[in-house]
Structure 1
């Protein structure tokens, strides 16, 4: 396992826990004193998070630190580009308000009907 893969796995786990707790990146950032863009950077493995900041996130999410290192190795298969794009789109949609999601649904329905 290289350094980038642990950042990716921990970032994904933090995102998963944050969403399970019902927090947006902004709400979590406020709880632990970080800017929402820092939370996003950690979740996308763009930031090499310090142990002190891991503890702050764990406290804000009310989970033990080891929860961030509890992940399953589901598959060694590399995602296809399509799967990566779908994952990215899904993560963006999860951050949106219901009203905006309805607009996206309408937009996508229009695109699909015009094929």
Structure 2
């Protein structure tokens, strides 16, 4: 069983990896997701707890399905 104490860091790292894979800046992702750039930065560093709805908006901005996101986290 995996330790979930670092879940925020794992989510943030995955978001960052996907963003970089798409060649997007934090600002571009924020604009496409409808959130502030500083939120994206905090999320990527594992400092922010993201709601499910906001995570869906961010993944939509990345054109990535939430089911796939969690299956590869």
Counterpart-to-counterpart distance in 1, 2:69 and 2:39: 17
Partner of 1:37: 38
* Runs of 4+ that moved beyond 2 A: 66-69
Partner of 2:50: 49
Partner of 2:25: 24
SS of the counterpart of 1:46?
Answer: coil
Counterpart-to-counterpart distance in 2, 1:25 and 1:39: 6
Counterpart-to-counterpart distance in 2, 1:2 and 1:14: 17
Counterpart-to-counterpart distance in 2, 1:68 and 1:32: 16
Larger proportion of helix: 1
In the alignment, structure 1 segments of 5+ residues that lack a partner are: 72-115
1:60 aligned onto 2:72: no
> Would you say how many aligned residue pairs link Structure 1 and Structure 2?
70
Query: Mapping of 1:1-115 within 5 angstroms?
Result: 1-3=3-5, 5-69=6-70, 70-71=72-73
What is the deviation of 1:56?
0.2
Instruction: Tell me the TM-score normalised to structure 2 length.
Output: 0.88
What is the deviation of 1:35?
1.0
What is the deviation of 1:67?
3.4
Name the structure, 1 or 2, with higher relative contact order (CA <8 Å, separation 6+). Answer: 2
Counterpart-to-counterpart distance in 2, 1:6 and 1:14: 12
